[in-house]
Structure 1
Amino acid sequence: MTSTYRVQLTPDFGFAEVAGLVGYLRELGIGHLYLSPILQAVCDSRHGYDVVDHGGVRAEFGGEKGLRELAAAGLPLVADIVPNHMTIPVPESRNAQLWSALRDGPQSPHARWFDFQWPVAFPILDPGDEPYGTAVEVADGVLRYHDHVFPIRPGTEHLPLPELLEAQHYRLVGWRESPGYRRFFDVSSLIGLRAEDPEVFAATHAVTLSLIEDGVLDGLRVDHPDGLADPCGYLRRLRPHVPGPLWVEKILIDGERLPGDWPCDGTTGYDALNMITRLFVDPSGRDALVGTFGRLTGVSDDYEAVRYEAKKHVIELFFRGEVDRLTSDLGDADLGDADPGDADPGKTGLREALVELLVAMPVYRAYVNPGERPLDETVRIIRGAAREAAAHADPDVVAKAADLVLYGPAEAVTRFQQTCGPVMAKGVEDTALYRWYPLACLNEVGGEPDRFGVSVAEFHAFCAGLPPKTMTTLSTHDTKRSEDVRARLAVLSELPGEWAEAVGSWTAEVSFDPRLDYLAWQSLMAVWPISVERFADYLLKAAREAKTAISWMEPDPRYESGLRDFARRAVEVCGPSVASFTALVDRYARVNSLGQKAVQLLMPGIPDVYQGNEITDFSLVDPDNRRPVDFERRRRLLAALDDTWDGQKLLVTTTALKLRQRIDPAGPYVPIATGEHAVAFARGIDRRIDTGTGVSADTSAAVVIATRLPVKLERRGGWGGETIALPPGRWRDLLGGVEHTGRVPMAHLLSRCPVAILEGAPAG
């Protein structure tokens, strides 16, 4: 396997349309086609993660027949699967398993599919309809509330409405209330599945595994494994059925590694994405950018304080029910010397300790299998979180709580772990990263926005530890901003003074909310040109995620109208100045864009190209990054490559992808010494290059050289006399056609393009 190309299937871009791209993708050099979820979702879903029926391939895409025809078109297929949850559709009768469970209660054969608290609370009622208003009625043998439909428990049909409602296996509650089931993050319409149950696993995976057995699918990408009760156990059950690639969408925080006992090929690449982004950021710009951010927003320069408040906020906003359930599960535990003056020393103190422990967790999950001795790393993570939590709650109770989530009741141990991920995702990804953004290219999934840059040596060390078949990526359907947006933003780390002057002038002309304006200006510059509508839609989502003025739960029509007006005025009034500044940035962003692409495509791992990103793409968070792609333009450009940024990026992409097909994907990664302004490495050569053994006689080898920190390079006068020592052998520049040997001047090697991709022949 050499590479993947991720496409987002939609009802108007299904299997037949994707099959029409196969010839283009093969010419591009792609090895595998990587599909968004293919099982039956709600009919109008644009993403496919809201599966409603695991028993069939999605009809809107062309069904199983269309999928098989796509598989026969010439590229092996990898599919995204969603084992953690399925949707609660409207009407609810469209989910057959949920309907059965709600009708027949714990006795239903499908009750085991879901993690229920009986009777099950469903948060759907509008204000004024609580507990029940006139909108709730029995009609046609079912319970109706507007468009919602619920089954009636057999034998209760004759009861008066109030008694009938009380007799059901479920309760309808206000939409702000916590649900009586585990869900995906804070999305009450996505109900968690108990994939740890063998019968549930078999039923929800039957179609997918039969497609693998028939050779229709070659591999899988597992969505959100941290939501599962036992991710490692799940993968151990799945792996024997998947002889091809198996990746997990596991978010690793800075320095974290995938658990060593997981039987999979690696992650979907956010760890690589963040390392590559930092490689092109100048750490010397940190203080100036943080200062500008603080001056214009009034937000603290202490990211950890912002992160703490954001996680506390989302726990009380979204996850009260999860914390209450955890507290109840552990409430009978011996808490030792609780303060006798506390009116409720057990549950009150324990709840506070659990909240602080969840807030202090530095990663999405620390893995504990109930009844087994936790790994030393797991104990270290939870004990470390407990030390931080002890500064905000009773230290003795926090210590006891840490013991309980490591060694306590099995259900509570698992529930704590399943709660950590949602708190991290909503508290950091979807709150803190919208509140603290001195340099927004660092605000990515799994990113640490206060870590400005990494050294070349740190990057080499990271690559040396990567599993050979892990996925690498630069853009996905879930990234906060596309790779070329980040390439532009990275330039600001080298132009902090010029940036401060520009953003100060724009703010003086157009302003709205200081806590959002600075993110708006970074975004406007980095995606320029952009329509007012696209820009306003992004800002509205950003404001709702930040939750400082409005939120998804607390809309404010006056604020939202003002925000849209700000977007319009920013584009109309400051657009020409923004365009001029972006033109300056693009002189250097092109260097970053091409460099990060060459590095990602040839570093260890299996590179993924997100749809359309073989040329420049300036997109923001979804749904902006899921817009239709102009593949005809890309076809034309591939047929006649030009010297534009788009043409150069496409040339780098197709050259690197085709070279990957000629080198050993498990071949060694060998760093090559460079100065500050370049990163270079070799793939497929003998590690002992100093002995002259050089390139293997039976495989190709590659050398990649990418320019970094281009502003500082220009200001120092260019490459001067700097050289690079290539490994022994003859090396052909695939972008320029020139052959090199030995020590080569950087100015000569990179005279036409800021990156070089070299293919080696054996030393002779």
Structure 2
Amino acid sequence: MIIPTATYRLQFRNGMTFDRAAELAPYLARLGISHLYAAPIFKAEPGSTHGYDVVDNRVIDPDLGGDEGFDRMVEALRAEGIGIVLDFVPNHMSASTYNPYWRDVLEWGEASDCAQFFDIDWEAPKLLVPALGSSYGEALEAGQFRLSFDPRDGGLTFTYYELKLPLTPTSYAQVLMRADREDFAEWARRFAVATPQTSNELKLELAEAAKDEDTKQAIEMALRDVAADIEALHELHEMQVWRLTLWRAARETLTYRRFFEITDLVGIKEERPRVFEEMHERLFELIEAGKIDGLRLDHIDGLADPKAYFERLQKIVGETDPFYIVIEKILGVDEDLRADWPVAGTTGYEFIRTLAEMLTDPRGADGMTHAYNDFLQEQVDYEALILEAKRMILIRNLAGELEHLKDMAGAIAVRGLKSRDFGNDTLRRAIIELAAALPVYRTYVDVSGAQDEDRAILAAAADKAKASRQVEDEQAIDFLRRILELDLESPEDQALALEFAVRFQQTTGPVMAKALEDTAFYRYNRLIALNEVGGEPDRFGAPLEDFHSAMAQRLRRQAAGLSTTSTHDTKRGEDARARLYSLSEMPEAWAAAVRRWTTLNADFRTSSDDQAMPEPEVEWLFYQALAGAWPADLAWDDQAGLTALADRMAPFMLKAVREAKTYTSWTAKDAEYEAAVEAFTRAALDPARAGPFLQNFVAMCGPIFLAGAVNSLSQTAIKLTAPGVPDIYQGSELWELSLVDPDNRRPIDYDQCRALQKALCDGAPSALLADWRSGAVKMMLLHAGLKLRADAQDLFTGGAYLPLRAEGVAAANILAYARHFSGRAVVTVVPRTPLHLLSGESQPLVPWDRWGDTAVSMTPGLLGSDWHNIVTRETHGSQDHLSLGDLLRYFPVAILANFES
């Protein structure tokens, strides 16, 4: 397996094309990147901003440059020694007519040759298309439907504004019979008996005939005639395999598996051999041609059988040597990557969580909790909030999925004498409670049954579900558990149980994600640095021993997994989080500041029915989010800069309150409330109106920005040297202070990045620290660290992990560890919780004398060699104890090697 030295995630679209990426190759090579980690490249919806709404996996997106542009990019990267790890989407495709597979299904339904590609309930009367802004009847009466003819391919479509749905060819007869021409009567008869095999030829014949202007006009007149006749138009609509419906109907009656609750993305049946082969054919060609060196697999929890999928994939692309594959998988706190999965690791969200727990001061937990509850004037029960959110998501947002699961469970229940009396409501409640009690995103029961990990998870969830007392007949919960473990007697029952288990497992992932990441993370804002994908906001810091244990486990299970700190899906940039960790060191001071700011900004709040808008929860969130996103060089009275910041903060706040779903949501918007939140946000960032607040805010946050810079450099040093492959998200080689998407997908100023990179050649660490706000100090650390990794690849891919102990007055403020392999060793020493150590300073460097007698104790196996600091180029002799005052005199963190790099 070829393991990257470091990956660089690049988001295509939004102005980033293959040719623009090719231009970055020399810059990335100088940075030390071995592999470009490319966002999806296959043809997506027109105007897509992310590429996950794929319409055709056989075509490289022309909007990015197509095949020729991709080849130019590959050639430019190869010239600099850079490979490609490609983000691939195996779980879903775009449910639109731009997708030729989906379009064929819309034409022919279950008779379509593409019907087996998608996870569709063919027992349902119609394939629902939930796209209407009003009821079907209202749209019909308002004349919002039209019919159109495409002279290029002879196709007829049923249109609703921009939406164009293909008519099933057999229904063309209803239209063509409207024309008073004998040749059209013949066309009508031929289309009335059309089949999927003959229809394309018939349509092309119609297109050829329509080259005659009179014929074309006759077709279009017939279409207008039908569209003007409500009864005829309705009759035509009812002849289709699909049915247009109000968009809200999707949550209750959708007839296909979605990606989460996004109706525009339909689930793929990758478990079917033909589907797998066709969906991956082009990808395999690119790998065979040596253009792709690794894969990142998106949303693997949506697959029916992830393990079988990985094995099938590796059998083809890793036949002689395992192919480098990482997976988007969010691991729970006590969950580990399955040992029998043939993948290198995850994309690294658990790495972010481990860093967060290490950089957060657990001594501030009580103080921050008290401050938060006091400001809200209520105590928030986080566990109860999560349970409530899970129930809400499953009952409301995923009601259709819930009903489908209930029906599947009922069909199994009636087959057993002891389970036949379970009613629909009992089974429905049992499903809700078991899913809500699940501590992880999903289990992985497959045709071979449940593994020990699955049984333990399901047992704990069943016990918790029973304790909730929401299900009167607890035997129903035990019955569901037996189904999920395939613990039934007959092969027929086991087959039905497997179908239920697969669908249940595909549903609990969206339940967890929507409830946790997209609801609770915006409702529980005690310390939002912890509200990160894969995070646990109720875990406020952890002992250093937990960090060392996590890294040792990481080395065992996914030494080649990605060590990420920012992604296109993180809730905020890595350096924004790093700043906010420091709030854990000053909960009382932060609480006092927030009270002061609420007074200064009181006039910007709006009242309605005795309700202040925004409410305390949202205002508490606002000040933390602002502290994280505030540009390091922004003055409090910079009108243009603050306007630009407001233009980022206002959409973020709007997204936050909609995700929280407390007073408004994406599907039930409260315009008055949303306007009040935006007005508050913009007023608070207007120096003409909020000067006293802004001046005080910047003064208060100055130490937080400094401590955040130190935390940032600490997490960067760890990412460079801990087990795993460092992943740099685009632009995060400098300070990454983004808010949640789409803010974190803004175009990067690579001219600035190149200029700073060039300046590194002449910049000493002291000069870069003086100019720390530019972010060049972070880039310098990355340069040095990635060069070290390239020079000692074996050490970082297979080297042991050894915790080191700090001693002395500031021992609690230090994390240290070593990596060693075959006589070579690297020691990493970084500060943690540095806020008080930086008191009165203007640079992110703890004065050497404040470390006092603090030192790192070196184990006997690390003695006998000089240590070379890869950033400052200092040399430290072999000693039992390395003084922190010496190690961190000139730079905030230290990475030492016992060999020259």
TM-score clears 0.5: yes
Give the counterpart of 2:697 among 559, 578, 582: 578
Task: For 2:290 and 2:100, locate their aligned partners in 1 and report how far apart those are by CA, in whole Å.
Answer: 29
Deviations 1:124-169 (A, max 9, x none): 1222434762323443322222221222223233443333333322
- 1:80 partner SS: strand
What residue is the counterpart of 1:3 in the other structure? 6
Alignment counterpart, residue 384 of structure 1, candidates 460, 466, 475: 460
* Shift in alpha-carbon separation, 1:668–1:339, aligned structure 2, 3 A: closer
Letter in 2 for 1:722: T
- In 1, Cα distance between equivalents of 2:658 and 2:776: 37
2:241 to 159, 169, 172: 169
Q: What are structure 1's unaligned runs of at least 5 residues?
A: 687-695
More deviation in 425-434 or 565-574?
A: 565-574
Equivalents in 1 of 2:118, 2:32: separation in Å? Answer: 43
Structure-1-length-normalised TM-score: 0.94
For 1:350 and 1:164, the matched residues in 2 are separated by 39
Offset, 1:712: 4.7
Matched letter for residue 145 of structure 2: V
Q: Provide the C-alpha distance between the structure 2 equivalents of 1:459 and 1:201, rounded to a whole number of angstroms.
A: 39
1-structure distance, mates of 2:64, 2:72: 12
- C-alpha distance after superposition, 1:265-317 (max 9, x if no partner): 00000011110121110011111111222222345332101111111111122
Instruction: Using the TM superposition, name which of 477-486 and 153-162 deviates more.
Output: 153-162
> What TM-score do you get using the length of structure 2 for normalisation?
0.80
Secondary structure in 2 matching 1:13: coil
| Cα distance in 2 for residues equivalent to 1:748 and 1:301 | 45
Alignment correspondent of 1:689: none
**Equivalent residue in structure 1 for 2:679, among 546, 565, 568:** 565
1:311-322 paired onto structure 2 within 5 Å? 311-322=390-401
Matched-pair contact (CA < 8 Å) for 2:300–2:329: yes
Query: Secondary structure of the residue that 2:541 maps to in structure 1?
Result: coil
Structure 1 residue corresponding to 2:85, chosen from 75, 78, 90? 78
1:337 Cα deviation after fit: 9.4
Partner SS for 2:455: helix
Which has the higher mean CA deviation after the structures are superposed, 24-33 or 344-353? Answer: 344-353
Deviation at 1:339, TM superposition (A): 11
Q: Where does residue 754 of structure 1 map in the other structure?
A: 892
The answer on whether the counterparts of 2:328 and 2:346 sit within 8 Å (CA) in structure 1 is yes
Is 2:888 the counterpart of 1:745? Answer: no
Q: Find the counterpart in structure 1 of residue 484 from structure 2.
A: 405
CA gap of 1:652–1:301, structure 2 versus 1, over 3 A, is: same
Change (3 A) 1:3 1:317: same
Query: What is the CA–CA distance in structure 2 between the aligned matches of 1:516 and 1:11, rounded to whole Å?
Result: 30
Q: C-alpha offsets along residues 178-215 of structure 1, whole Å, 9 cap, x if unaligned?
A: 22100100100011111111111111111111111101
CA contact (8 A) 2:573 2:736 kept: yes
Q: Which amino acid in structure 1 is aligned with residue 70 of structure 2?
A: L
1:255 maps onto 2:334 in alignment:
yes
Q: Deviation digits for residues 322-354 of structure 1, max 9, x if unmatched? A: 0100111111333789999xxx94211001110
Shift of 1:676: 1.5
Q: Select which of 647, 652, 666 maps to 2:798.
A: 666
For residues 663-693 of structure 1, the C-alpha deviation after alignment (integer angstroms, 9 at most, x for no partner) is 212111111112311111112346xxxxxxx
What amino acid is the match of 1:483?
A: E
CA pair 346-393 structure 1, distance change in 2 beyond 3 A = same
1:714 positional shift: 5.6
SS at match of 2:332: coil
- State the match for 1:690 in structure 2: none
**What SS is found at the alignment partner of 1:676?**
helix
Contact residue 297 and residue 516 of structure 1 kept, 8 A: no
Classify the secondary structure of the residue corresponding to 1:705: strand
Larger Cα Rg: Structure 1 or Structure 2? 2
Q: 1:255, 1:128 → 2: CA distance?
A: 47
Higher helix share goes to which structure? 2
Greater mean deviation of Cα atoms: 361-370 or 131-140? 131-140
Aligned to 1:556: 670
Name the SS of the counterpart of 1:72 in structure 2: helix
SS at match of 2:248: coil
**How far apart are residue 713 of structure 1 and its match?**
4.5
The partner residue of 1:283 within 362, 367, 370 is 362
Whole-angstrom CA distance in 2 between matches of 1:616 and 1:147? 41
For 1:643-662, list aligned pairs within 5 A.
Answer: 643=769, 644-645=771-772, 646-662=775-791
Residues 703 and 757 in structure 1, CA contact (< 8 A), matched pair in contact too? yes
Match of 2:382 in 1: 303
Cα distance in 1 for partners of 2:396, 2:599 equals 35
Superposed CA RMSD in Å reads 1.9
Letter in 1 for 2:664: I
The equivalent of 1:146 in structure 2 is 161
Partner of 1:189: 264
CA drift of 1:587 comes to 2.4
Amino acid aligned to 2:533: V
- What does residue 710 of structure 1 align with? 834
1:448-527 alignment runs, 5 A limit:
448-466=536-554, 467-510=558-601, 511=605, 512-527=614-629
Match of 2:65 in 1: 62
- Are 1:595 and 2:595 an aligned pair? no
Q: Give the structure 2 partner of residue 351 of structure 1.
A: 428
Deviations 1:628-678 (A, max 9, x none): 111111211122232232122111111111111122121111111123111
Residue 133 of structure 2 is matched in structure 1 by 126
Cα-to-partner distance string for 1:59-91 (whole Å, 9 max, x where unaligned): 1111111111111113111110001111123xx
What is the aligned partner in structure 2 of residue 95 from structure 1?
Answer: 99
- Structure 2: gaps (5+ residues): 150-155, 175-231, 487-493, 606-613, 632-641, 761-767, 840-845
SS of 2:280's partner is helix
Give the direction of change, closer, same or farther, for the CA distance of 1:424–1:237 in structure 2 (3 Å limit): same
Partners of 1:334 and 1:217 in 2: CA distance: 48
The answer to whether the 8 A contact 1:34-1:77 is kept is yes
- 2:591 and 2:854 map into 1 onto residues whose CA distance is 32
Among candidates 284, 293, 296, match of residue 218 of structure 1? 293
Counterparts of 2:563 and 2:137 in 1: how far apart (Å)? 49
Cα distance between partner residues in 2 of 1:39 and 1:381: 37
What SS does structure 2 have at the residue aligned with 1:548? coil
Amino acid at match of 1:654: H
CA contact (8 A) 2:816 2:856 kept: no
Q: What is the distance in 1 between the residues matched to 2:120 and 2:71?
A: 37
Task: Assess, with a 3 A threshold, how the Cα gap between structure 1 residues 759 and 570 changes in structure 2: closer, same or farther.
Answer: same
SS of equivalent residue, structure 1 residue 451: coil
What percentage of residue pairs aligned between the two structures are identical? 38
Distance 1:256 1:609, change over 3 A: same
Distance 1:298 1:401, change over 3 A: farther
- Indicate conservation of the 8 Å contact 2:703/2:838, yes or no: no
Instruction: Sort the Cα spacing of 1:358 and 1:131 in 2 relative to 1 into closer, same or farther, 3 A.
Output: farther
Query: Number of matched residues?
Result: 743
Partner of 1:425: 513
What is the deviation of 1:750?
Answer: 0.7
Answer whether contact 1:299 1:515 (CA < 8 A) is retained: no
Q: Specify the code of the residue in structure 1 equivalent to 2:888.
A: L
**Aligned residue number for residue 53 of structure 2:** 50
Distance 2:778 2:354 in 1: 20
Asked if 2 retains the 8 angstrom alpha-carbon contact of 1:298 and 1:515, the reply is: no
CA distance in 2, matches of 1:702, 1:318: 50
The residue that corresponds to 2:746 in the other structure is: 627
What are the superposed Cα offsets for residues 194-240 of structure 1, whole Å, 9 maximum, x if unpaired?
11111111111111111111011111100000001111111111113
Residue of structure 2 aligned with 1:238, choices 313, 325, 339:
313
Superimposed CA distance per residue, residues 521-548 of structure 1 (whole angstroms, 9 cap, x where no aligned partner)? 1001111145111110100000110000
Contact 2:867 2:897 in 1 (8 A): yes
Q: Secondary structure at the match of 2:334?
A: coil
- For 1:611, the aligned partner's letter is Q
Give the aligned residue type for 2:428: R
Give deviations 1:346-394, integer Å, cap 9, x for gaps: 2110011101111111111111003x23111101111211111122213
How many angstroms does 1:117 deviate by?
Answer: 1.7
Which shifted more, 404-413 or 595-604? 404-413
Q: 2:145 aligns with which of 119, 136, 139?
A: 136
Q: What is the alpha-carbon distance in structure 1 between the residues aligned to residue 276 and residue 376 of structure 2?
A: 49
Relative to structure 1, the CA distance from residue 270 to residue 24 in structure 2 (aligned partners, 3 Å threshold; closer, same or farther) is same
